[in-house]
Every structure is written in structure tokens, then in C-alpha cells.
Amino acid sequence: MENQTIIHPSAVIESGARIGAGVRIGPFCHVSADATIGDDVELVGHVSVLGATTIGAGSKVFPMATLGAPPQNAKHQGGRTTLIIGANCTIREGVTMHTGTDTSRGETIVGENGNFLAYAHIAHDCIVGRNVTFANGATLGGHCEIGDNVNIGGLTAVHQFVRVGNNAFIGGCSAVVGDVIPFAIAVGNRAKLRGLNIVGLKRSGLPRSEIHLLRRCYRTLFDHTRAVSENIEIARTEFGESETAMKIVDFIDNRARRHYTVPPLKGGAGDDGDDED
């Protein structure tokens, strides 16, 4: 029968939980009374969905994942906070995602079509965009903001309050303690920029001319012979007609934050070294 919900006899579904059509809940799962499970979600087995957690339609959650546990934040007073997970996410073994903090944003938000590999962690009050990939053991501290189409490599840790811009790529085993601009590659402990994510830009269909313009904008913004504020003004003048370039400029310029922007490797702005086109 289409859209039939199947719940294994060993699963515990608390009274009040909202379960959509076509849901499959495997053995030894636990779904709390305040949880919402969207249509066609599959909890494979041994999955814990705690607190006020919403899982979007079509998502699949693998064993030992724990979604919606209280925040690991000493400022939390025990109030009701939420975790919202978008549609069509894949959440692999041992992944943990926490609710927000009642003295802060109060919610953790994960966008649709995310792919979270084993033991990835999303902490309290984070906002994660659409179409992201977190490799095994990728970890966010609290209050992070991760853009759309971001890839974070395995065993990489992102410091609390850090932003990672759209289409950025973070290499594995990195420690990210500052904001990473959109369309960039960052690698290392502590992470530094290695240039633009040219492969990602090509895959997105960005014209060759626009990629070359972005390279010039990147080098302008990180010209160490001038002040950052001067670089920003020059970039706005020279590249203001490019919507893509302005996303990078605005990201750097609109940052009333406590963390700095991750710079290029010492010795110059650098780039990815791919000049084939």
C-alpha cells in the first residue's frame, strides 16, 4: 500500500509525536512526544529523535544518530528550543545535531538535501544551508553559519560563531577559526585560503569570463599592501557589476563579528593554480 507507515514493534513512539505518511521506523528507535517526522522519512534503526525536532520529508537517518538532544551550552536554562532538518537529508551513523539555546537563537536549522556522513556534529544554534556535505567527523561549534553548497572535509572542526560562505570547500583535518569567504578553498590547522573553488565554480555553470573576474576580485581583496577597507572599496568599484563578486565583497564587509576572515597563505593572495581556461 502506498504511503503506508511502518513502525517496528520494538520502537518507542511517545504520545504526541507527529508521524507523516509513508514513514518507516526501524527497530529500537525512540521518537519523543514533541518530534515531527515528515512524510517518507526512514529511521533505519537505533535512532533517537529527541525534543522539539522536525525531520523533513524524504530524509533517511542511519543507526545511532541522535537528533535534538539539548545544547552543550552552560547558558541553556532548560527551555523549549528546536532543531529543524530540511527535506531529503541523508544522516549517517552516529551523527549528532543539537537544539538551540534558550538564551540565544533558540533553534538549530539544517537545510534540505544535506549529506552528513558518520559522526558529523552540528552544535546548538547553527544555521546550515542547502546541499551541503559534511564528511566523516566534520564538527561545528555553536552558532556557526554554513552557506549553501558547502563541502566540509573529514575530521575538520569549525570554531563557534564562524561563517562559511556559499560554495566554499574546507579540506579535511582542518581547524577553521575564522570566516571563510564564498567560493573559496580553505585548508590547514589553522586553516588558510588556497584560492577559489574553481572546480565547484565550473560545476555550477559559471562562465569562464566570470571565473577570471572572480580571481581578480580575490587578489584585490587580499592585497596585503593596502588596508582591507581600501581593498573593499576598490573591489566595489572595479567589480560592482558582478553579482557573484559582490557576494564575496559583501561577506567580508558585512561582518560585525568577533572572528576574523580566514586569510590566504602567507606570502601573497595566491589562487588555485588552475589556469587551463
> Which residues carry out catalysis?
124-125, 142
Q: Which residues contact 207 (CB under 8 A, 6 or more apart)?
A: none
| Sheet with 133-134: strands ordered across | 6-7, 24-25, 42-43, 60-61, 90-91, 115-116, 133-134, 151-152, 169-170, 184-188, 191-196
Burial of 240 (0-12, 13-18, 19+ CB in 10 A): exposed
Helix (DSSP H) and strand (DSSP E) numbers for the chain: 4, 28
Tell me the C-alpha distance between 13 and 18, whole Å.
9
Tell me the C-alpha distance between 267 and 245, whole Å.
23
